[in-house]
Chains A and B, each alone.
Chain A
């Protein structure tokens, strides 16, 4: 089955720790995205990548880092610099970032909490 797989489903971070959220897609999509969702709020864009070995900051990139070494994979690291990391993190992909009508598909998300 084609889709987007995020792992883990739940993650706990200790003070001062970096943690990495995994996102893998087998849809052969060029573009991938990371969003953060806080309770009662819409999704906010953290980072996005249009193509392998390229990525750009979104609206709330501070305290986060990404890499895009393979087309299928777009891991997100939440660094210790992110002081309020507790949120629902969603990875998404779409076939081509430059076609406006292309649909964006989401993974099932990772819930990150601070211990």
Chain B
């Protein structure tokens, strides 16, 4: 089983749609969680950290369920500019010295 698993998609949605991505992780001792966005042939950039109580940043909402070991990202009112690959990222326990484990990414295409 992979440490971090995502549905690779692709997700093809029209502008204005709401889309949700899920991600599961296997290490129950994982301490922190992130969503990164990666545009085609570019480096990943932080979209948002994920907190236990859930957090929102504009049209983006992230949730963490520690009991079930999954993380979600909800995008409301999708824009064409949201088209990208979304990477679920988990920071392993302290003794791994901050090693981040990346999911393979979920491809999102927003069309007019």
Contacts and interface: CB of A to CB of B under 8 A. Distances in A.
A68 to B, nearest CB: 14
A98 B43 contact: no
28 contacts: A33-B100, A35-B102, A42-B87, A42-B102, A42-B103, A43-B44, A43-B100, A43-B102, A44-B102, A45-B99, A45-B100, A48-B97, A50-B97, A50-B98, A58-B99, A98-B97, A100-B31, A100-B32, A101-B32, A101-B49, A102-B98, A103-B46, A103-B49, A104-B46, A104-B98, A104-B100, A107-B43, A108-B43
Nearest to A111: B41
Contacts of B99: 45, 48, 58
A11 to B, nearest CB: 15
B1 interface: no
Interface of A: 31, 33, 35, 40-45, 48, 50, 56, 58, 88, 90, 94, 96-109
Interface residues of B, number: 23
B72 interface: no
Contacts of B34: 103
Contacts of B59: none
Given A31-B98, A42-B87, A104-B98, 16 more contacts: A40-B104, A42-B102, A43-B44, A43-B87, A44-B102, A45-B99, A58-B99, A90-B43, A96-B98, A97-B98, A98-B94, A100-B94, A102-B98, A107-B43, A108-B42, A109-B42
Given A98-B98, A100-B31, A42 B4 contact: yes
